[in-house]
Amino acid sequence: IVTNIRTCSKPKLPPNPLPPFYCCPPMSASEPINFTLPDPAEPLRVRRPVHAVGAEHMAKYERAIALMKALPPSDPRSFYQQANIHCAYCTGSYHQNGNPELDVQIHFSWFFYPFHRAYIYFFERIAAKLLDEPGFALPFWSWDVPEGMQLPPEFANASSPLYDPVRNPRHAPPKVVDLEFVREQGENNLTADQQIQQNLRVMYKQMIGNAALPTLFHGQPFRAGEADQPGAGTVEMFPHNTVHTWTGDMAQPNVENMGVYYSAGRDPTFYPHHNNIDRLWVAWRDIGASRGYRGHVDFTDPDWLDSSFLFYDEEARLVRVTVRDMLDIEKLRYRFEGVGTPWVDARP
């Protein structure tokens, strides 16, 4: 799949959406430039969990969001446009090159991890640029470890730029997140401790028990000329989708903002949430390497490696990024720190 900006048009939105109703990025007069890796001399960004990164760092994330929100909506680095990136790639705004009846949709397929990695890579660099702090690292919401299993309180303060009024009021902190939350079933009746134990078992199942092969973890191949959404990987379904639904407001027609693709990026929790997803991709490979699980490896199929997506970088240049570009986080100059994987032995 090769994304072409000129194929972007009206999104296919669910019934009764909340405005805005258009998601394509600003058109660029020039052709996209190809992605190049950051300078190896660049400081390594250390991404830490929201619950342990400290107030000073969270104040920076808050300021970065405020600065993005203050940019004019025509600026591709504005919060408005950053949120729209998700909408455009997830609602059939983009069409396949040469196959206008077929959509580019990055969910429910093997593009789930690399697309979102690239998305938050640029988001983080834009934040760093606006803060004028080259090493700024995006914090992650580690809902997979007990200390992180609630909406981080920083996001629930109504006067913060991290606040989003379109969320489930029943799930304000300190409510423990339910990693199996689905709209149709609603609340369960577990105690906080039972919920934590259950969440750890869900993590084991999705990261290890059911994820022994690349297609199981990443999702099914999606190639040019094929219909979108061939099948999601384990973690995309649970807890990725479930945390989205748990955070969104059930009183809205489509569980906006976090609970539906077109509006999820409008909530500042989206980026720390996806940062944790990115960390779990690293964890899945590391667990495979340390335990000798030979299926915990990425695809080597060129249809995956050579697929590409478009993003605007911190200088507002349109950049073409391939999946291949996104496979080595050290080369992308960041790493994860500050939290373990307490679910590795939580066999159900």
Q: Please tell me whether residue 87 binds ligand C2O under the rule CB under 6 A.
A: no
- What tokens were used for 183? 């709209």
Q: Please tell me whether residue 60 binds ligand C2O under the rule CB under 6 A.
A: no
Q: How far is the CB of 229 from ligand C2O (least distance, A)?
A: 12
Compose the 304-333 pattern: x for residues touching ligand C2O by CB under 6 A, - for all others.
------------------------------
Residue from 86, 117, 125, 218 touching ligand C2O (CB under 6 A): that is 86
Q: How far is the CB of 264 from ligand C2O (least distance, A)?
A: 6
Q: Please tell me whether residue 90 binds ligand C2O under the rule CB under 6 A.
A: yes
DSSP-based three-state secondary structure for 155? helix
Residue in this structure with the two tokens 């993590």, named with its chain if needed: 203
Residue from 51, 107, 125, 167 touching ligand C2O (CB under 6 A): that is 107
- Closer to ligand C2O at the Cβ: 86 or 125? 86
Q: Please tell me whether residue 47 binds ligand C2O under the rule CB under 6 A.
A: no
Q: How far is the CB of 125 from ligand C2O (least distance, A)?
A: 19
- Closer to ligand C2O at the Cβ: 91 or 346? 91
Compose the 231-250 pattern: x for residues touching ligand C2O by CB under 6 A, - for all others.
---------x---x------
Q: What is the DSSP string of 17-83?
A: PPSP---PPPP-SSPPEEP-PPPTTSPPEEE-BHHHH-HHHHHHHHHHHHHHHHS-TTSTTSHHHHH
Residue from 274, 296, 320, 333 touching ligand C2O (CB under 6 A): that is 274
Amino acid at site 346: A
Number of residues in contact with ligand C2O under rule CB under 6 A:
8
- Closer to ligand C2O at the Cβ: 117 or 274? 274
**Residues 80, 159 contacting (CB under 8 angstroms):** no
- What tokens were used for 208? 């290890």
Residue from 264, 280, 323, 332 touching ligand C2O (CB under 6 A): that is 264
Burial of 108-117, coded b for 16+ CB within 10 Å and e otherwise, reads bbbbbbbbbb
Q: What is the DSSP string of 237-274?
A: IIIIIHHHHHHS-TTSTT-TTTTSHHHHTTSTTHHHHH
Q: What is the C-alpha separation between 8 and 96, in angstroms, rounded?
A: 10
- Interface residues toward ligand C2O, by CB under 6 A: 86, 90, 107, 116, 240, 244, 264, 274
